[in-house]
Amino acid sequence: MSQEVFTELTALAEAMRPILKALSASFDWTRPDMLGGFPKGACGSSSELVARYLREFYSYDAKYMSGWRASHVTHAWVQVGEVVVDLTADQYDGCPPVIVARDSRWHQQWQTEAPRNPVMPSNWPDYPYEAWERLVSGMAQAGFNG
């Protein structure tokens, strides 16, 4: 992966993080696994939205990754080639709010499932449509959207 692509992924991740955080505060989330309490407990839904965004607006082969540790702790993030894109790692002590890295030792500590494409609305009955729309519009306002 070129340095240009890596730089673009970093800029996109840094732009998405405050949008997702603001979403958390603006909704009355009834399900704890959506975005309420962001970043804590919001890694799955956030990663689904981020992966979809990177695929649809930038044509990246973004994959949803999920993993677990022996202590039954789980986490999710996005993988683009060899690059980890994680906007919720700071729910764990000592992690920064945004990780974009070619070699993330912290992510290598997780037992992972096979990478997969993000779940599309037709396969997710409770898809967070409003969050998706706000992410897309927020990124457009920030000067992104491919």
Instruction: Provide the number of structural domains found in the chain.
Output: 1
DSSP output for 25-70: HHS--SSTTSSTTTTTT-HHHHHHHHHHHHHHHH---EEEEEEE-T
Residue 24 is predicted with a pLDDT of 82
pLDDT band at 27 (very low <50, low <70, confident <90, very high): low
Which H or E run contains 73? none
pLDDT band at 145 (very low <50, low <70, confident <90, very high): confident
56, β-bridge pairs? none
pLDDT tens string 67-81: 999 878 999 999 999
Residue 15 is predicted with a pLDDT of 98
Give the contacts of 31 (CB within 8 A, at least 6 positions apart): 126
Residue 20 is predicted with a pLDDT of 93
- What average pLDDT score do residues 4-10 get? 97
Whether 100 is in a domain gets the answer yes
What pTM was computed for the model? 0.92
pLDDT tens string 91-143: 998 999 999 999 999 999 999 999 999 998 888 888 888 889 999 999 999 99
Residue 30 is predicted with a pLDDT of 57
Domain that holds residue 15: 3-141
Burial class (CB in 10 A: 0-12, 13-18, 19+), 5: middle
- Helix then strand then coil, in percent of the chain rounded to 5, is 45, 15, 40
Whether 146 is in a domain gets the answer no
Which has more pLDDT, 37 or 17?
17
Whether 36 is in a domain gets the answer yes
- What average pLDDT score do residues 6-25 get? 94
pLDDT band at 28 (very low <50, low <70, confident <90, very high): low
Whether 79 is in a domain gets the answer yes
